[in-house]
Amino acid sequence: MLRASANHNNIYLFLATAETLSFTEAGKKFGITQGAVSYRIKQLEDEIGCKLFIRQVRRIALTPEGKQLYAAVSQSYEVIDNVISDLKDPTPSGELRIGASPSFSSRVLIPALPSFLEQYPQMNIRVVTSSVSQTFNDESMDLAIVYADRISEFHTEPVIRESILPICTPAYAKKHNLSAGNKTLSGLTLIDNINSSNWLQWLNDGEYVASQNSRFLVDDFHSALSAAMSGIGLAIGRWNLVKDLIKSGELVAPYQAVLTNKHYWLVSVKGMEHRASYKLFASWVRNEVFGKNIRSPAENKSTIGT
């Protein structure tokens, strides 16, 4: 909240000046002279007690303090503009850019989106599948569903804690007589994603022992899932990415699931959480995507699909 000592008109004039880096251009927006802009910026600097601009011949630049104030002010005005826009028209419309990993997008998000679009046909959805930090930094994404232990850079809301569990075809489980009561995995093919430590965590947390097994190495989840569905062996899957395949009977989970220390998070640029479109999508994700199976099999302490 701005203190009474900070003139709101001067703050708004500062924003225009910081965006254009020109007293002349800022003056045109407000219908005042370049000298008047310079004078009012000097007033603001005196009120705050620090320089906001470096004045050079034919150009100006923001000081470190000016950059700090600009970041806060521009974000605040963006929030205000968004709220006013939503108040004028509370029906969400336009484009909503949603980020997610390729595996979550293809396995969970995109198959679920028809229900969202049916409820809100005026919304245009764009799914972005790339690095969260990269897409937020280049402003190509409004919000994302992220699987991580902790995120601190953006506005975040935890949705659900994930669990992991071994998966295979019913035929493979039957052939090797797999059961939750057997704490030793032996003579099996373990499908291992070299970019994940899920097997190690599951073995340690579930107090299982792996002995005399062969390994089938892949470098992403899609390949691991494809290998498991082809009957090659046991892969580790995240419950929310494989639950539909287990429920359909295409895969089984012969062993107990364990909870990870990671959650699915709703992540957004700061200020986006105030938008009506964000609130509707966040509610839909909680209730429609995760809400129907909010408790993981690890929390239920039961074996799934056998």
Per-residue tokens: 283: 């509610």
Q: Give the CA distances from residue 154 to residues 71, 101, 270, in Å, rounded to whole numbers and listed in that order.
A: 14, 17, 6
Is residue 133 pLDDT above 90, yes or no? no
- Whole-number average pLDDT of the chain: 86
Per-residue tokens: 2: 């701005």
Mean pLDDT over 276-294 rounds to: 83
Q: pLDDT tens, 31-89? A: 999 999 999 999 999 999 999 999 988 889 999 999 999 888 887 777 777 677 666 65
Q: pLDDT tens, 216-233? A: 999 999 999 999 999 999
Q: pLDDT tens, 246-264? A: 999 999 999 999 999 999 9
Q: Tell me which residue of 192, 187, 185 sits closest to 228, measured CA to CA.
A: 192
Q: What is the pLDDT of residue 134?
A: 55
pLDDT band at residue 303 using 50, 70 and 90 as cut-offs: very low
CATH numbers and ranges of domains, the chain: 8-88 (1.10.10.10), 94-161+262-293 (3.40.190.10), 163-260 (3.40.190.10)
Prediction pTM value: 0.68
Is residue 95 pLDDT above 60, yes or no? yes
